[in-house]
Structure 1
Amino acid sequence: MTGLETSQTVSLVLIAAHVVLGFIATVLVSANRRPSAAIAWVLTIVFIPFVGAIAFFLVGRGRLPTRRREQQRAMNAHFLAHAAPSALPPDATEDPTWLASVVRMNTDLGALPMVGGNAVDIIEGYTDSFDAMIAAIDAARVRVHVEFYIAVRDDSTGPFYDALARARRRGVAVRMLFDHLASFMYPHRTQTQEFLREAGVESFAMLPLRPFRGQWQRPDLRNHRKLVVVDGVVAFTGSQNLIDETYLKSSNLARGLHWVELMIRIEGPAARELDAVFLTDWAAESGEMLPFLEAVAPRDGAVALQTVPSGPSFDNDNNLKLFAALIHKAERRISITSPYFVPDESIQLALLTAAARGLQIELFVSEIGDQKLVYHAQRSYYEALLRAGIAIHLYKAPAVLHSKHFTVDDDIAIIGSSNMDIRSFSLNAEVSVLAHSREFVDRMRAVEDRYRARSTPLHLEDWLRRPVGEKTWDNLARLTSSLQ
């Protein structure tokens, strides 16, 4: 065989392999995947054959291994069997009339009921939330459970860690979970873990990437939850990580960036439901099934709350279904705050449909971005929203608006760790709290009023005049959002 014939044979073999790879990719990738995501992956594999296939192998699976999902189902059954007795006021799921169906959906998906009799405080100040958590930890008698995506002991968070050490010295059981990959992305990792060991705090990394120990899953499936539960009676959750407001990055310091967050303090039966989320993650990482505390008596508060966990350990996109349902059910007004707004087709369509129904809709996002790809991807959705009459408020730099919440009509709100983006819908473990209370929503509206006063409104005519280079980056970044 001549050199030319050999070259032609090799070329034919490579072309045939490419065709076969493309066919296999089409069949495998499209199974149980959104069409837009499947098409994006198939095109990636076809046009970048081997690199694309390797990328899909590493980050193409949207669910955790079977063992983790089976464990989640077992925990769900356990929580349903030990659900708290109803503490709801008579009208909790009757007004609005559609709320009962949403609560039932959440219970089926996340195994946690709605419970009333909760007192809820809204905490906007960055260090104020640390102070409130420290006060609760200092009053702990039995156990303290801490779970954060990012957990760093620095000058700002040092007093929080000191409170954990004081609790241990009093004989209180203190347990802590933090995301494994996130812990490598920020400074003081070694010092933080040494402090926890010396203080006697039990701690585990969540979703560890240790292939030689049999601990492996898609690397970007992360646990993004933020919560603290004290004695099953007092709990905190929201958007804030356990780190300084600059996130300790030199680039942030150079730009003067600081994060704006929102946390809530819950006292009442719903604290026990948030503790159930911690118990699930603790069992997954430590192998230890901790006892589910007895039901907490209702407090004087009148807020009904339902905890909704979501993530790749579940068989459904729990928070996506909840968010879409609330947008479709809304009758008058929707206000959304999300630092990373990269909606999937169902959320985008729900918002555009709600706008067409005549609802007043507004979106609060940051004027600047700390993650370039996500920042440009979310900007690609602005034009359609503005054309539909949806108001967009750009929170002024150098603050990064990192709060994650939205309100519906007069008495429904969502607060939690979930962004309004594809990553939070499908790839991250998140926790959201559905609140039903006119008085509480009035307080959340006051928060939104303060955001609006600190923001610049975005107008369609100005947006269309932005430079061509920015439009190009926005549109290119949007394509990558479907690779999930």
Structure 2
Amino acid sequence: MHELLSWLSEHYVLLLTWLYWSVDVVLRIVGVIVVPRRRRPGSAVAWLFAIMLLPVVGFPLYLMLGKAELPRKRREKQKIVNRLMRVRAQSLPDSELDEDVPSWLQSAVRLNRELGAFPLTGHNSADFEIDYQTSLDRMAADIRTATSDVHVLFYTMGLDDVTRNFFDALAEVADRGVHVRVLYDHLGSVTHWPVYRAMRRHLDAHGIEHFPMMPVKPFSDGAFQRPDLRNHRKLLIVDGRIGWMGSQNIIAPHYDKRANIRRGLRWQETMVRFGGPIVSEMNLLFATDWFYESGQSLDRATVVNTAPDATGSYECQLVPSGPGFVLENNLLLFNQLFYSAQERIVAVSPYFVPDESMFSALVTAARRGVDVELFVSEIGDQFLVYHAQRSYYTALLEAGVRIQLYAAPGILHAKHVSIDDSVTVIGSSNMDIRSFLLDMESSMMIGGTDFMVKMHEVEDVYRSRSRELTLEEWRGRPALTRLLDNTCRLASAVV
């Protein structure tokens, strides 16, 4: 025994080296076998690159972040949620599209119903709001009219000087007996700690029920859960008669971050205020998330109501998506619409990192003569995503896509698409791999000539604040910048 210990002490460097390289080789071999299974080629290549570059770091990261799915217990709960949603959605009225709408739009409606269970509903009203403070104040005014229920669900929420009126409205109606329920994404809100803590204290002080969505407790459901699986939806429903939806979070337009304030950054959002039968669909989506986080099932009368005002002229359909669904509902809808477009596509997204199928759909549309216009921000707030999305610009410009850069220091955070003069999709979903695979999102497909006129007016406002990027200008950027963009593109595929 003494001789063995003596030999080990003399040769431990050799043994550790041999052990390291043995583990290195094994991890590389296992990576090649395991990683490509049921995974997009681009994602598989990115993960394999990380593992081959440094296996002892890359492979553990893959084990933690390589599966875009919920733990088993959460998946079982999600099945209950989806079943509940489908059963209650049967109570919602079906609407028929006009005979003169294109057949591809009818196909999109059928696709959405199959993916997310929600029907197309008619006789809805909808109005845009693109001013940040005004939208908060209008939502607060609607909250103050509540008589029974207020349902709030936002990715990021915090009590600060900008949002105080919103939270005061919640407190006022709660104090007079209205049932207020609040959901906020845990990671999306807790990272803004001072205003997050102030919000929670405010809600508690007025007896308002609230829950963090997708709380970061990696092993709470019996298996490791990726911390970056998030609920990214933004919804406000008042008495089942007024619904708000779009891209805006309940926080100051600079997100209370010193770096953003120092740079003068301000987020530009687009919100839509709905009335009519569609509000019951929004309420039902909230109810499923409420059950998911609280375990409380809201009764049918609270969730699905007969709309008091059904005089609107817009047809609407809600499309939920996220890791709880089998397919990427938002991606499939976008691709269906891009391939169907005949004349015009206008896409607005703050984070544009498409998968291969969406990129091909946009390039193909431009090549076949469709006028394709993409709005993105001139500057970025997220280093990796900002540089990754820039790596797509050359191919898009060469195909004929017009890229509008929203002027700094604004961050165009709005998320919407319009196709021809037929339909708009607006909501919380970015056009990036994260929104397709990892985030719970909500999108609304809206048809109606008058609404398309309003949509184009919003696009005109953003166009007036943007400048068009030319292929000549883009080709002249520094070589080092190109290298950085392409490297970030590869890293962004690791999902």
TM-score (norm 2): 0.94
In 2, distance between residues paired with 1:334 and 1:235? 27
SS state at 1:197 partner: helix
C-alpha contact 2:183 2:211 (8 A) present in aligned 1: yes
Q: What is the 5 A alignment of 1:83-162?
A: 83-91=90-98, 95-162=101-168
Which residue matches 2:306? 296
Match of 2:435 among 417, 421, 424: 424
Displacement of 1:305 = 0.7
More deviation, 386-395/128-137: 128-137
C-alpha contact 2:154 2:249 (8 A) present in aligned 1: yes
**Deviation string for 1:242-290 (max 9, x for gaps)?**
0011111111111111111000000011111111111111111111111
Which residue matches 1:281? 289
Displacement of 1:386 = 0.4
In 1, distance between residues paired with 2:109 and 2:245? 20
Which residue matches 1:469? 480
In 2, distance between residues paired with 1:212 and 1:102? 39
C-alpha contact 1:69 1:315 (8 A) present in aligned 2: no
**Deviation string for 1:321-365 (max 9, x for gaps)?**
111111011111000000111111011000011111110000011
Residue type at the aligned position of 1:309: P
Unmatched segments (≥5 aa) in structure 2: 1-6
- Going from structure 1 to structure 2, the CA distance change for 1:328 and 1:469 (only over 3 Å counts) comes to same
Match of 1:180 among 186, 191, 200: 186
C-alpha contact 1:327 1:334 (8 A) present in aligned 2: yes
Which residue matches 1:232? 240
SS state at 2:103 partner: coil
C-alpha contact 2:71 2:221 (8 A) present in aligned 1: no
Which residue matches 1:217? 225
In 1, distance between residues paired with 2:44 and 2:64? 16
Displacement of 1:22 = 1.7
Which residue matches 1:194? 201
In 1, distance between residues paired with 2:306 and 2:8? 83
SS state at 2:445 partner: strand
Displacement of 1:294 = 3.3
Unmatched segments (≥5 aa) in structure 1: none
Residue type at the aligned position of 2:232: H
In 2, distance between residues paired with 1:208 and 1:217? 10
- Going from structure 1 to structure 2, the CA distance change for 1:15 and 1:236 (only over 3 Å counts) comes to same
RMSD (CA atoms): 1.8
Q: Does 1:368 align with 2:374?
A: no
More deviation, 63-72/351-360: 63-72
In 2, distance between residues paired with 1:72 and 1:3? 54
C-alpha contact 2:218 2:227 (8 A) present in aligned 1: no
SS state at 1:306 partner: strand
SS state at 1:188 partner: helix
In 2, distance between residues paired with 1:87 and 1:22? 53
Displacement of 1:136 = 1.5
Q: Does 1:163 align with 2:169?
A: yes
SS state at 2:306 partner: coil
In 2, distance between residues paired with 1:459 and 1:90? 39
C-alpha contact 1:417 1:431 (8 A) present in aligned 2: yes
In 2, distance between residues paired with 1:71 and 1:112? 20
In 1, distance between residues paired with 2:316 and 2:294? 28
Which residue matches 2:340? 329
Displacement of 1:204 = 0.4
In 2, distance between residues paired with 1:146 and 1:6? 60
Residue type at the aligned position of 2:438: L
Match of 2:51 among 12, 30, 45: 45
SS state at 1:466 partner: coil
Q: Does 1:310 align with 2:321?
A: yes
SS state at 1:368 partner: coil
Q: What is the 5 A alignment of 1:305-454?
A: 305-454=316-465
Displacement of 1:8 = 5.4
- Going from structure 1 to structure 2, the CA distance change for 1:152 and 1:7 (only over 3 Å counts) comes to closer
**Deviation string for 1:295-325 (max 9, x for gaps)?**
4236111111111111111111110111111
C-alpha contact 2:81 2:291 (8 A) present in aligned 1: no
Which residue matches 1:54? 60
In 1, distance between residues paired with 2:272 and 2:294? 28
Residue type at the aligned position of 1:177: L
Between the two proteins, what is the percent identity of the paired residues? Answer: 46
C-alpha contact 2:94 2:119 (8 A) present in aligned 1: no
